Chain A
Amino acid sequence: MNYELKNADRSAEKVSTWAGLKGLLKLVEQERKTLLLALCAILVNAFLNLIGPLLIGYTIDHYIMQKNFKGVPLYAGILLGLYMIAFIASYFQTKLMGGVGQRIIFELRNSIFGKIQQLPLAFFNANKAGDLISRVNNDTDKLSQFFSQSLMQFVGTIVMMIGSGIFLLVIHPELGLATLVPALFILIFTKAISPWVKYRNKRNLESTGAMSGEIQESLNNFKVIIAFNRRDYFREKFEQANTDNYKTAIRSGLANMLFMPVFGLFSSIAQLVVLAFGIYLIMQGNFSVGLLVSYLAYATNFYNPLRQLAALWTSLQVALAGWERITQILALQNNLLTLSAGTAENNGHSPVLEFRNVHFGYPGGYEILHHINFSLEAGKTYALVGPTGGGKTTTAAMMARLYDPLEGEVLLDGKDIRTYTDEERTAKIGYILQDPFLFSGTVKENMLYHNNLYAGFTDEQFKVVLEEAKLEGLLTTFDQGLETPVTSSGDSLSIGQKQLIAFMRAVLRKPKILILDEATANIDTITEQLLGQILDNLAKDTTQVIIAHRLNTIENADEIFFINSGEVVRAGSFSEAVSRLMEGKRSS
């Protein structure tokens, strides 16, 4: 599966407003009941508001024009009653429709986040972190604005418009048709320019994403910018992104503002039509002044919402552009599915992990691993050595099923690793990544991240756990011990300290297979000896896989695999591995 969103953008460009809208409507399905109630409230409200001008027109014709005030208070009373009912209906209209909007955006936000959680690591490798964050944050925000603010008005105004349109046609079909003709022009105009407007907005969203990506990159790497005298780099790169954003923003802004004046013009023309045609009809004796006044009100009721609709249409276009970028993510599927349990080969003495004829390459790249065969026994310690770029990390990542092989299979306890559920697999395999990642919180929270083994332990009990695992000695490097705060941008801790936390996190999970991918590279050698003792202290059947450059970290390995140019070779002894490292042709 191609997880690269940026290039996929181009092909998906031509999606019509309706297709996008249909996708959005699907989100509404669950809300059918509330929507029906809301629709009732809207209809009642709209009907009452529409009947108002009619009654006023009637009162004018039959009483005021006749210079007879007697009936006026009666009709005023009726109107007052109607307005009061409309008041209640309008309250429920807002409350119900707004509630729908809030819940939809809630569902939508959750489903995007849920989808991102489902996707495999390959997805994150294929996309810039900055762009992904912008998609999830900014684009959902645009949709959220639409749903929380505009949707309600949208439905309300459309109902109002249709109602007014019907009244216009019922009171006087010919005059009604004439009044509605300008609206037809508006419709054609809108339809004609909408794709262009949406395209402009999408471009603008893209350049906004690019700009925040640029800012993030430069600010996060500011020390390099200073140390290498490239403050101008930040300024130039930013200025470039800023100018680009300015250009696209002007273009989308101009596209968005075009609706308003055009709508205004046509609605003025419609008023003129009503007035001129209406007076002509009155001259013909087919119409009354009272009806003309209420007719003007209906025309306003029809065209004013239309003008609002212009503003809403813009926010709909922006929302649709965001929706499109989001659906791209929602359409992706996890390619690391759990297979139904195959034939279990486990007859008691199958190796704990086995690679059978494994081939692998990242999407769109060369094959990185060729024809890999090896197996790991329970309780032993293995070292993977070899030059940088030789494929060690990739091999380790496949042991943890961060990727699936292109060919061949990886067996865990004699069964295809793909037949294990994620819980089963991750409970067995502990993996300390090359780049330690910490969540904001405390050292303790990070150590126990998603670890249910010690749920409900008191501080005392947890202390005992740490002592048993011999971990308490590592905590002395943190000035506030377990409670030392961690920020996720985290320059408060050194890389070595982060590696220590990641190490403790993995050990506390008690995995059957523990993979250390240069997990201690920035830790001093004395502390590293301590780590060695901790590893020795692990359960006897724990299999360790260690990737390291320091020979003393790997000299105690039971077996050493030499990985280079995508091939894995078993080194007979430690000294053979060393000589291979020293003499072997480096290729990276």
Chain B
Amino acid sequence: MKATPQQQAQKTPGIFSLLRPYSGLIGLLILFALISNGLNLWLPRLIGQGIDAFEHNSFSFPNMIVSFVSVAFVIFVFSLLQGVVQTYASEKVARDLRTRIAERISVQNFTFIENTTPAKLLTNLTSDVDSIKLFVSQAIVSIVSSLFIIIGASVLLLSINWKLGLMIIAIIPIIGGAFYLVLRRVKVLFKRSREVIDWLNKVINESILGAALIRVINSQFLEYEKFFKASQESRDIGLTILRLFAWLIPIIVFTANIAGLSILVLGGHFVVKGSMSIGEFAAFNSYLALLIFPILVIGFMSNVIAQATASYNRIVLVLEAKDPAATGVVDQSLEGAVEVKDLSLRFGQKYALKDINFKVEPGARVAIIGPTAAGKTQLLYLLTGLTIPESGQVLYDHRPISAYQPEAFYKQIGFVFQDSILFNLSIRENIAFSDTVTDESLEKAIRTAELSEFVNSLPNGLDTKVSERGLSLSGGQKQRIMLARALALDPKILLLDDFTARVDLQTEARILNNISRSYPGMTTISVTQKIAAVQHYSQLILLMQGEVLAKGTHQELMESSPEYVQIFNSQQSTSNYEL
């Protein structure tokens, strides 16, 4: 695994460790940058020499033009190469990093995704990677070549005239100090501004996802005001940052001008005294122009590095997330027996589920009923191993879930979720989502879920695309597609989470009938609100506030559980119509 080099590095590896696999590319990049920038330093020298040669009457047009043009052309070639390598290197680093993050995410369990939140992972994969991309494409080259130019120019300045050179080099700490002071204050503001952007994004996201509600309640203006507040805050922070930078730039320009002035006065003095040639004097001016820009670049790039480091630290959290517990090896097919032993689950101090116990025989049909927020869905998640219980066990054929190899296990479990989850794929791809689905099992699942007629009514049939949030389908159609997706696995055990909530009665009755006919011997555990549909099941489990209040057959519960009777009565008036 790729994890090993990181483990050697022990603590959070710095952002530069990220570049190790690309050392060849980065080395090439730095080489090209140094060549093109180094040659750039040469040009002022050529100019100075040209002027001096002219002063000494040894000037030759062809010589100068040839040397100048060849240097300029070599610079062109190398800066072109530098640009190409820079683009490739940064995009490659970004792509590989994204792949690594996505691979890490893909092996994580459901709890990890929920706790880290999809929104944060999205940020990791997009803007965090982008800031690292910026670091690779700009910071590395800029800093290396800037340092090179600063040192190179300084050496050349000193070699021409060390006294004047020292005076000019004195501007470096002045500009650097100004930068340091401003950036130190701006950094806090940058952090605050990121927070405000997150705030803005939250308002935008909610206003788009909740568009229907907002239009029903006519709260567009309220949302606008929410947005406006965040937007205003963002503008104000921007203006504060600006005010700081508004000081920085004039200070730098002024310092540079003063340096130019000292060249004029002091350099002029040297020229008058004859200790400096006029060509050297001109070169001094050119080098000054060269010197300013790299100092600015280093200042700005230090900020890019700081941001990239912060991003990288966030990414490392994902990359170094613990592996989910080692998976089991059992891959034999299930009989379909399920046992829940002393199962508890807690959110904070509050128990969502407490000491749940029940047994399901292979092929049996069991229903879980109970009021809203009783913990029914949580129980199903525990049954499928999507979440891990705080204590207790779920046994399949007398073995805990963890003993099974996940692929072999999930292949045999069909789960119909309560919320409609469809991918932006064709209906066929949505139903045959697992890759073990054959044409035959697909066909059977569609028939059982009573989807054939609907599918046939579509011009493109099964190949019709489902739009992203499933907007073009009715609630019942979505639920039936979800059911077909679970059935297409030909599962040994079917878990249903209130799947008929949005399906009409007649269809529901037919579907339930179809299931027991087409999938005999399948263990079914069904969370439902409607007793009538599950009255004849071999076991009904009444769940309330996270605890099993009663379990048994319909008859038994009618005799022993007043709560069950109450629920039954609440549906009684019309239940004679329900089947």
Contact = CB atoms under 8 A, between A and B. Distances in A.
Given A60-B268, A217-B424, A450-B217, A133 B507 contact: no
Contacts of B575: 552
Given A269-B72, A387-B506, A222 B110 contact: yes
Given A437-B209, A477-B372, A581 B505 contact: yes
A235 B289 contact: no
A418 interface: no
Given A117-B224, A254-B87, A387-B504, A215 B122 contact: yes
B99 interface: yes
Interface residues of B, number: 172
Contact of A124 (B126, B211, B381): B211
B339 interface: no
Contacts of A572: none
Nearest to A48: B257
A451 to B, nearest CB: 8
B239 A479 contact: no
B216 A523 contact: no
Given A94-B250, A125-B471, A102 B205 contact: no
Interface string A173-185: 0000000000000
Contacts, number: 469
Interface in B182-236: 197, 200-202, 204-224, 227-228, 231-232, 234-235
Interface in A52-102: 52, 56, 59-60, 63-65, 67-69, 72-73, 75-76, 79-80, 83-84, 86-88, 90-92, 94-95, 98-99, 102
A402 B216 contact: yes
Contacts of B265: 72-73, 76
B141 to A, nearest CB: 11
A561 B531 CA distance: 26
Interface string B508-545: 10000000000000000000011000000000000000
Contacts of B73: 265
Interface in A428-481: 429-431, 433-435, 437, 439-440, 449-450, 477-479
A437 B86 contact: no
A208 interface: yes
B411 interface: yes
A64 B272 contact: yes
A239 interface: yes
A8 interface: no
Contacts of B489: 228
Contacts of A478: 373
A253 to B, nearest CB: 4
B50 A275 contact: yes
Nearest to B570: A525
B122 A212 contact: yes
B51 A292 contact: yes
B504 A509 contact: no
Interface stretch (B17-25, B169-177, B353-361, B474-482): B474-482
Given A118-B220, A388-B502, A586 B206 contact: no
Contacts of B125: 212, 215
A229 B261 CA distance: 72
Interface in B88-119: 88, 90-92, 94-95, 98-99, 102-103, 105-107, 109-110, 113-114, 117-119
Contacts of A128: 424, 467-468
B70 to A, nearest CB: 11
B571 A525 contact: yes
A230 interface: yes
Interface string B59-103: 101001100110111011001100110111011101100110011
Contact of A242 (B99, B243, B271): B99
Contacts of A196: none
B410 interface: yes
Interface in A114-149: 114, 116-118, 120-121, 123-125, 128-130, 132-133, 136-137, 141, 148
B75 A264 contact: yes
A250 B207 contact: no
B453 A586 contact: yes
A261 B80 contact: yes
Contacts of A377: none
A570 interface: no
Given A393-B474, A431-B216, A525-B529, A388 B503 contact: yes
Contact of B72 (A118, A227, A265, A389): A265
Nearest to A67: B272
Nearest to A108: B231
Nearest to B210: A437
A: contact size bracket: 35 or more
A489 B372 contact: no
Contact of B239 (A102, A222, A249): A102
Given A83-B261, A90-B253, A102 B213 contact: no
Nearest to B249: A94
Contacts of B246: 91-92, 94-95, 98
A279 B220 CA distance: 70
A224 B110 CA distance: 10
B264 A59 contact: yes
A488 B205 contact: yes
Contacts of B369: 524
Given A387-B504, A588-B476, A260 B83 contact: yes
A588 B474 contact: yes
A272 B371 contact: no
B179 interface: no
A257 interface: yes
B434 A497 contact: no
B282 interface: yes
A416 B508 CA distance: 39
A209 to B, nearest CB: 10
Contact of B253 (A86, A132, A230): A86
Contacts of A208: 126
A425 B215 CA distance: 11
A103 B234 CA distance: 10
Contacts of A162: none
B206 A264 contact: no
A268 B43 contact: yes
A500 interface: yes
A402 B215 contact: yes
Given A226-B110, A272-B69, A518 B126 contact: no
B286 interface: yes
Interface stretch (B149-157, B308-316, B414-422, B440-448): B414-422
Contacts of A493: 373
A249 B91 contact: yes
Interface centre among B43, B105, B381, B436 (most CB of A within 10 A): B105
Given A68-B272, A250-B87, A261-B76, A224 B421 contact: yes
A388 B475 contact: yes
B268 A216 contact: no
A132 B121 CA distance: 19
A556 to B, nearest CB: 10
Interface string A278-313: 011010000001001100110010001000000000
B220 A223 contact: no
B477 to A, nearest CB: 5
A227 B415 contact: yes
A223 B269 contact: no
B247 interface: yes
Contacts of B371: 477, 524, 526-527
A524 B216 contact: no
22 contacts: A83-B261, A86-B250, A91-B247, A92-B246, A94-B245, A95-B243, A113-B224, A113-B227, A230-B433, A232-B106, A232-B435, A242-B102, A250-B87, A250-B91, A271-B47, A272-B65, A292-B282, A293-B281, A433-B216, A488-B209, A509-B217, A549-B505
Given A224-B421, A226-B110, A385-B504, 17 more contacts: A80-B261, A86-B254, A136-B208, A226-B410, A229-B406, A229-B407, A253-B87, A265-B73, A272-B65, A275-B47, A282-B54, A477-B373, A488-B206, A494-B373, A497-B373, A526-B371, A587-B453
